[in-house]
Structures are given as structure tokens and as C-alpha cells.
Amino acid sequence: MTRFPRRATVLAAVLLAAPLGFTLTATAASAAPAAAQVVTAAGDAVASVDVAAAVSKTKKKKKKKTTAKKPVTKPVTKPVTTPVTTKPVESSSLETEVVTLTNNYRVANGCGAMRIDTKLVAAARAHSTDMVTNNFFSHTGSNGSTFVQREVAAGYTTGASAENIAWGYRSPKEVVDGWIASPGHKANILNCGSVAVGVGVAYKADGTPYWTQDFGRV
């Protein structure tokens, strides 16, 4: 039996020119001052050195005629416990498939295919990771950031156009179909003014995926 409830899927979209039920966003210029506060990674590794133990160990050794070399103590990296299940290779493949499916739908409906922008990918991955790590689902980041600010923080400084997010959809096809079935998300996908895109997926400890799709006009 799958660990995912059949209907445990949620969508949200933000438009710069928003229809009913969608939030208006700030311009890139006004968003820039807060960009430095954006979360861009989850979990920094902590390094420590057990110097005391090494010194104690050398003192117990008997002195020899020749001076013994002092043992070299290497830093020990302690992994930080995080609810994110990282699957870099698989995630990258899934993110690319979402872009392919999105572009196929755009081309079939009169819009050009978008290119993958690495800065938008970084912004999208950062937001998905933020939602997973801090256990929330929103276009507003855990630090109060908007998608425009997150794109700027990732280096995409002009032209942010829209963002789609979702959780619980188990495959690229499911999440793209879910977005297409929603008027707001569909409008973002069929915004022919968007020429660049980045997709990021992150997983909770139980395997639940959180998706972010960021669009740009440059």
C-alpha cells in the first residue's frame, strides 16, 4: 500500500498579474533589499576536532630515545540531521522531465519552449528544501521572502515572472497534469512571455515530494 494518500496533493501559484485567488507580488527592484535573507541551502555541516583525546593518548606512550612524531588529528565532519531525503541524480532527472512535459504543453498551445536556467533551478530547489525542512507549504519563504526575492538571491536579478508549487504528486507527469488542471497554474505555464524556467524537488523523510517551478522573462 502506498504511503501517499490518493488526494493528499496540494497546488499553489503566484502571478505577477494575478486573477482571483492569487497573490500579487512585489517587483524585482523593491524585492532586492531583502534578497540576502533568502534561504539558499538546508543544513550546514559542522566540523570538530578531538584534540584533547589525541593529546591524552600521546602522553600515555613511553618516551623513546628518538622523538615520536605527533599524531595528526583530522577534522571529523558530523552530518546534520535533516528531514530531507536527498537523491541528487534522481531529483535532477525528475526536474528535467517536468520541464520537458511543461514545454511540450506550451508548444502544443502556441508558446515557445523555455530553456532551463541554472539560477532559477537553484531558486526552485532552495524553496522546495525550505518548505520540507521547515514543514510548511507557501509561496512565502520561512524568512518572509517572495519568489521574486528568491530568484534575485539565486542570481536571476531581473525578469522574475511566476512560480508554481505543489506537494504530494509522486511523478513529473502527475504534478504537471495537476498544474495544467488548475487555471492559475495553467496561466503561468502558458505565459508566452516566460522564456526561462527552473524546477526543484525536495523530499520529506517519509518520501513526500515538494515541487517548485520558477519562471523568468530573460
Under 8 Å between Cβ of 204 and 132 = yes
Q: What is the mean pLDDT of residues 145-173?
A: 97
**What is the DSSP code (8-state) at residue 130?**
H
**What average pLDDT does this structure show over 35-50?**
30
C-alpha–C-alpha distance, residues 182 and 17, integer Å: 16
**pLDDT surpasses 50 at 68:** no
Report the distance separating Cα 4 and Cα 2, nearest Å.
5
The pTM (predicted TM-score) of the whole model is: 0.64
What pLDDT, on the 0 to 100 scale, is given for residue 90? 72
Q: What's the pLDDT band for 203 if we cut at 50, 70, 90?
A: very high
Is the pLDDT confidence value at 121 over 70? yes
pLDDT, tens digit, 9 for 90 and up, residues 94-109: 999 999 999 999 999 9
Could you tell me if 149 and 38 are in contact, meaning their C-beta atoms sit under 8 angstroms apart?
A: yes
Instruction: Name 211's bridge partners.
Output: 166, 201
